[in-house]
Every structure is written in structure tokens, then in C-alpha cells.
Structure 1
Amino acid sequence: MHNEQEIRKEVLRKVKLPEEEEIKLRSVVDTLLTLAQKEMEKREFEGDAILVGSVAKGTYLRNPDIDIFLRFPKELKKEDLKHLGLEIGKVIIPDGFAKYAEHPYWHGTYLGFEVDIVPCYRITSPDEKMSAVDRTPFHTEYVKRNLKEWQKDEVRLLKAFLKGIGAYGAEAKVQGFSGYLTELLILKYGDFISTLKNVANWRKKVYLHLEGEGEEFRDPVVFIDPVDPHRNAASAVSEEKKSLFIYASQRYLEEPSIKFFFPEKIKPLKREKILKLVEERGTYFYVISFPRPDMVEDNLYPQMRRTLEIFVNILRDFHPVNSLYQVTSSHVHFIIELERDLLPKVKKHCGPPVWHENSKNFLSRWRDGALRGPYIGGY
């Protein structure tokens, strides 16, 4: 399938909820909001329960998560906010469980839908935020106010495209594009194809905004949050995922294919084939494995990346060719490919420039321990 319009129709058919599921979703949302509001009122708080996220904005894909926010008065202590959020969540979804971000929230399944019940503070401006989630209702309202009805499917196409290429999601595991960011991109560029055309021409520095420029950031992609000019809505995007998005956009525009949205599953190689390929490469593979640490994913994956960098740095004299990590349910694995597995007896050890304050210490330290030198030379 190479006709762009045919691809578009087929993708939307696959990612949008069937009508009967749509009706069920709306019914479940109404029920959850009613239950949550009753629980808030029982506790005599001047707060409310609201729907946020992609379901509220009408930009969700199949199997959507329902995000219910419980807004409490600013005067409430943070510890009480955390406690009440979990308490109300447990009443609504008794078999759910607590999950943790900046503060705990309740997660569970209600009539087949994944649900997050999140406590936050009710504020009148993002400048008043007391936690990161406090600005989320403003994100929802901004998109609902500015996104045209026909653009909702454009967002769905962009989300499905990013999901297909492995760049959808702002969590630490992915380091990609959040749902909110995809909505901002459609608001910026107009539609799915126009977004790809613009992304295909992105370069090293990407600085975008809708409501005027904001602060300077050093992230690979900068999109000033229209409800908070002090925040980069694209801060989670890594250089790798930015580059992947650029390349995939270029390729899709050259030759559209539904495989960008729904890639074929990669068949794992057999052990014999892997061993043969390793032998043919003539390099050396080392695997470091240990039990998976007991920590949330948003903390685990940054630790994995830092640990891999440390391993590669330690082994730099062996000339690392490739390196990667893998996380399973029980273990973490680091795989490093080296050009060589033995070091030569002689190594050139370069010191600091002569004008550096440590140059004398370097010369003094290595004066008697070097095969040749120390000497002054160019690099």
C-alpha cells in the first residue's frame, strides 16, 4: 500500500475506537467522574474531579488510558494531598495499586480501561504550580481550545507514526515525543503531512513556539510550552529519537508505507547464526548481567544509560565499537562490542597543554615511569 490517502484511511481505521467502544468509553468516564466527585464531596473539600489527557482532548488511540485528576485546594498540605489521592483512588478502584512519579497516584482497570487517578492542586495559573502535574489541566484546556475537530485525526496519525518508529512516549525508557508534544506539533504545522515535511528539514538546533519565545534551553528539541514559557515541552526528546523522527519523515515522504505505522515484527536470529556473525565480524563481545534493581522505570533507565557510559569509558582503550543495554523483568544486561580484547604493552598517554596548571604535575609524575618522554608535541 503506497497511496498516501489509502494509508491514511487504513491507519485511522486501525487506531480509532469502534463506535461501540467509543460509547462505552464515554459511559465509563462519566461514571468515574461521578464517583470521584462524590468522594471529594464526602471529605468536604472545595475541589473537583476532572478529565484530562488524550481522552479529554479527543486525540486518543485504541486502548486509551483514562486520566482523572482530583483537584484539591492550595492550602492542603502535600502529605495530605498524597494520602487523600490514594485513599479516593482505592475506593473507586479497590483492586488497583499505587504508582509513583513526583508524588504517588492510583492506577487500576475499570471495565476494561486503564485508569490513573491523580491528585493535584487547583490553581488559577500555571505560575502557581506546586507540583509538575498541576499544569496538566492547563495543557488539556489549551489543546481543546485551539485544536480544530478535523485536526484530531491528524494528531492520531502523528502519534501512530511515532509509535511505529519507536519514538512515541516521554518516559525515560523511550526518550521520545509525548502525546501533548504531538498535539503541539499539529497546532504548529497544521496537519500530519505538513508536520513530516517540516520535521524532514529539522537540523541540529530545533526551537519552536506557538505563543512567543520563552527561555533558552540546550535540549535537542525545544518547543516552548504555550501555557508555561519557562518549560520546554520537548525536554524528554533525545538526540537519537529526534534524528530517528527526521529520517523516518524523509523516508515516508519519499515512499509512503503503512509499515511506518505498523512495522513487521523482527524475527530473532538463531543461536548458531549469531555465533557465526560474531565470528565473521572478528570483534569481541562482552555481556555484563545482574538482577534488575527494584526501582521505578523512570529512575532505572537513566541509571542504565549512565552505567553503560561508565563501562564504555573504562573499556575505551579496547576501542568499543558498539554498546547497548537491555532490561527484562528479572535482569539487566549490558552488551559491549570491542575491537580487541588485549591491550598493547605500550600506550601513548597525552597530558594537558603546557599552559595548563596541571602540566608540571603531569611531567613530574611520568618522568621516571615512561618508556619514552615525557616530551612536548602537537596533537
Structure 2
Amino acid sequence: MEGLGGWNELRDEILRRITPSREEEESLCRLCSRLERDITRLLEEAGIEGVAEVHGSAARGTWLAGEKDIDLFLILDPKYDRTIFQKALDVVKMYLGSGWVEAYAEHPYIKSVIDGFDVEFVPCYKVEPGKRLYSATDRTPLHTRFVNENLSPERRGDVRLLKQFMKGIGVYGAEVKVGGFSGYLCELLIICLGSFEEVLLRASNWKRGESIDITGKWREDDLRRVFKNPIIVVDPVDPSRNVASAVSDTSAWTFVAAARSFLEKPREIFFFHEEETNPASLLEDLRCRDPPILCILIPDESPPVPDILWGQLYKAEKALSGLLERRGFKILRSSPWSDEVSRHIMVFEVESVEIPSTMKFMGPPVEMVEDSERFLRAHLKADSTITGPWIEDARWWVGMKRKYKDARKLLNEALSRDGRGIGIPRILNERIKKGFKILLNDEIKDLLEGDFIRFMVDFIRGRPVWLE
């Protein structure tokens, strides 16, 4: 393939690094077999008709070296109502004894660490292909069957390459935090398009509404009419579903741009890169930074599950950016960060923390009689009016005194009153009521540890590491 000189050697090296060793495979298989056997037996002893099966990448042979994740599904007879899910999980709790955490998505599931593996126990109903689904998780066993029947053993390496490429550019994972490509979507892309290189070649030319329909049941224009996503990949086990529905615009077009750059010059940095994590160097960059960076620290003793948390963080980011913009503060970039345990930080890069105390405010066209009268009543004798109103071209204008010329004061007052009034989601607003801090540039020095350092290095750089 043109433009991929030297890629074959690099390809082999990356595959060597991301393919699990025989020891890893044996360790995974032993634990999977034990869990399937034990939980199936306990379900039977509890009088529950169902079996425990491992699904996800561990069952499809596409997991990456170093990953220690197991998805164990409790596949139950659909004759039961939803209360059976909790009863099945009670069996799991009894088996685990302690050290488990109950989480919630569409319905509850259990997370635990067993022999160094992160294991999720997920209840679902047994369904046949083409039949009614009772819950969203019912699809997963069907996904495993489809992938194992259609993905050849030699193409599992291509799936791993695609997953690692997406991890390297930051678009891997369908969770709310990432808004990217799921493992199942990566598998489907390889099944449909044939190889890692072919997926990138096709992606480099994608346009909005790009569609892939392995089922052949849709007309292309109908797909674009029904699904408003940047990428559409029809689920072969449920043709009414777009597997790529979680992929955000940012993730979709990051993948497209990275594919183009890789095809022009393949490099290891697309797959692996280590951020410099020197706090002293980062603080030096922040000390006199222009444009400045504002951070809002929100402590949280009991954060919600990650998907809910990140949904709240993104909504809060949008609300705060909107508030700043409406008051005349220009936002260059913004992003939330969280350790998902005890603290969340909203990060804003602004043109300036302080803006002029006056502003030129546009009124209505003079020909609009009622609007003009309202504008004049509001501004002719207002305390905030510094100069005007006057007519310029066809409109009324007025020079006004700003209420806020310091972004920190604006944010502090808005959040201290009640964040709900500016669009802060309920759960996050409750945390903000208990306390928050607004920090400028190197005032974040006490926060610089662990993953937040890597996040800030990446944020300050402001461009993908693979972009030359």
C-alpha cells in the first residue's frame, strides 16, 4: 500500500507488544472456566434457570496484552420478570462474599477484582437472533456468536492493531467519558473492510453520515435519515441499531484525521506514547501562561458511576462555557477531568481573565418600531449606560458598563448562588454547594499529581501528539 514504507516491520513489533502471551491466555482461560462453572452451578442450586458465560473481547480472542477485564454474563430464561436480575446477582454476592461493588446502568450489575482481573457480572436474558430483545445487554452474547463465526483467526491481529491505534489517539471506548469506538465496533470494521490498513484507508475518505450495512437491509439514504450520527454501522444482530451511535463528532473526525496522517507516515506514536510528567516543568509553563487557564476544583466524597458522572461533567462544562461567552469572555478550549474517586476539575483556556469594563451593545434596526421603543426604555436612563444610545447605519447601539469584568468573580457568584440556574446538572450542583475552588494558572500546583499531570500536559500542548 502506497505511503506505508517501513510499516511491515513496525506492524510486527506492535503486534508482538499487544498480543497476549501464552501465560496471559492461560491465566485468563483458567479464571473464565472457573467462574462459568461455579456461577452456573450456584444458579442451578438457587433454582434459577440460566448459565454463566464469558463474553466481550475475552470470549472473542481480541483482547489486548495487559488488559485484565472479564465480562461474565448471567444468561437467564426470558420467562422471568426483571426481579430475576437481582436474585441472580444475590447468588454472585454470596459467591464473592466481600469486595464487590454494585453499579447501575439499564439494570444493576456487580464489579469485583478476582485474581487480579476486573470482573463484571452482568445479568441478561437468553434470546435468539432476530427475536425480541428484553434488555440492551441481551445483544452481547449474540455479538460474540457473530464475531466468532465471521472473524477469521488471522484477522484477530488486525482487530488488536485497530484497538491499539484508537487507544493511542484517544478514541477507544464507547463510554460517555470517551464517546469513541467500542471493541465490538472495531471487530465489525475489520469483518466488513478486511484489514487494519483497509479500515484506515476507507476512514481517511469518510464523509459525514458514512454508512456500513453488513445486513444489506437498509437503503443508504434511509440510514442517513434515521441515524443522525457522523458514522453509521448497522448491527448485524439488531439491524435497527447503529453500533457507532456513541461515537462523537470529535472522536469520529479525530480518527479520520489520524488515519490520513498515519497513511502518509506510519509511526509508533499513533499506538504508544508517554507524556512527560514533570510537575516543575508544567508549573513553569503555567506560571505566566498567555492565554491563561482557569480551573474549577469540585471535591466529591461519593461520585456516581462513571457514565453518569461524565454526562454531568460535560453538561456542566457546556453550561459554564456558555455563561462565560454570554458575558464577553472568549473561550478557546475547555475540558473536564476527574479521578472518578474524590475530585473533578473543569479546565478553561480563555483569551483573557479580565476584559474591559465597557462594551458596545447592539440594538434593533430603527425600522422596528416596538423593538426600538423597548430598547430605548431599557437603556436611555439605565445606570449601566455609559454612552448613547445612538444610531449607526440602520441600528440602535449603546455603550454599557459590564457587570463582570473578571471571569473568576463571575464564576464564583454564579456557582455560589445556585448552579442549577445556569444549567449545572443536579448531582454535580449538590457537590458544588459543599465547596469549590477557582484557580488560575500555577495556582493548581497542589493538584498536580498522577493522571491530572498527564491531562494538563496534553491540554497545554493543545494538539494531538501524532500531528506533525
Q: TM-score, normalised by structure 1?
A: 0.89
Which residues in structure 2 correspond to 1:198-347 (within 5 Å)? 198-212=202-216, 213=218, 215=223, 216-268=226-278, 269-276=281-288, 278=289, 281=290, 283-292=291-300, 294-316=303-325, 317-328=328-339, 329-340=341-352, 341-347=354-360
How many Å separate the matches in 2 of 1:127 and 1:241? 32
Deviation string 1:205-227 (CA, Å, 9 cap, x unpaired) is 32222112275211122111111
How many Å separate the matches in 2 of 1:152 and 1:352? 64
Equivalent position SS for 1:173: coil
Match of 2:384 in 1: none
Which residues in structure 2 correspond to 1:160-199 (within 5 Å)? 160-199=164-203
* Counterpart amino acid of residue 286 in structure 2: I
Deviation string 1:259-287 (CA, Å, 9 cap, x unpaired) is 211112233433233213x1xx3x44332
> How far 1:289 moved relative to its partner?
2.0
How many Å separate the matches in 1 of 2:199 and 2:211? 15
Match of 2:63 in 1: 60
Partners of 1:167 and 1:177 within 8 A in 2: yes
* Counterpart amino acid of residue 247 in structure 1: A
> How far 1:191 moved relative to its partner?
0.4
Which residues in structure 2 correspond to 1:103-118 (within 5 Å)? 103-118=107-122
How many Å separate the matches in 1 of 2:323 and 2:231? 30
How many Å separate the matches in 1 of 2:9 and 2:184? 27
Unaligned 5+ segments in structure 1 are: none
Partners of 1:59 and 1:155 within 8 A in 2: yes
> How far 1:240 moved relative to its partner?
0.9
Deviation string 1:56-76 (CA, Å, 9 cap, x unpaired) is 111111224222111112232
Equivalent position SS for 2:360: coil
Match of 1:10 among 13, 16, 21: 13
Match of 2:144 in 1: 140
Note if 1:372 corresponds to 2:383.
Answer: no
Deviation string 1:309-359 (CA, Å, 9 cap, x unpaired) is 1111111112222222221332222222333422452332355999xxxx7
Note if 1:88 corresponds to 2:91.
Answer: yes
How many Å separate the matches in 2 of 1:105 and 1:74? 18
Match of 2:407 in 1: none
Equivalent position SS for 2:79: coil
Q: 1:55 to 1:350 in 2, by over 3 A?
A: farther
How many Å separate the matches in 2 of 1:123 and 1:104? 19
Instruction: Please identify, of 119-128 and 50-59, the stretch whose mean Cα deviation from structure 2 is larger.
Output: 119-128
Note if 1:44 corresponds to 2:52.
Answer: no
How many Å separate the matches in 2 of 1:352 and 1:27? 76
How many Å separate the matches in 2 of 1:246 and 1:352? 44
> How far 1:364 moved relative to its partner?
4.0
Partners of 1:2 and 1:257 within 8 A in 2: no
* Counterpart amino acid of residue 334 in structure 1: M
Equivalent position SS for 2:58: helix
> How far 1:80 moved relative to its partner?
2.9
Equivalent position SS for 2:122: strand
* Counterpart amino acid of residue 296 in structure 2: I
Match of 1:98 in 2: 102
Q: 1:154 to 1:308 in 2, by over 3 A?
A: same
Q: 1:346 to 1:162 in 2, by over 3 A?
A: closer
How many Å separate the matches in 2 of 1:183 and 1:57? 9
How many Å separate the matches in 2 of 1:143 and 1:360? 67
Match of 1:20 in 2: 23
Equivalent position SS for 2:167: helix
Note if 1:76 corresponds to 2:80.
Answer: yes
Partners of 2:366 and 2:395 within 8 A in 1: no
Q: TM-score, normalised by structure 2?
A: 0.73
Partners of 1:323 and 1:334 within 8 A in 2: yes
Aligned length: 369
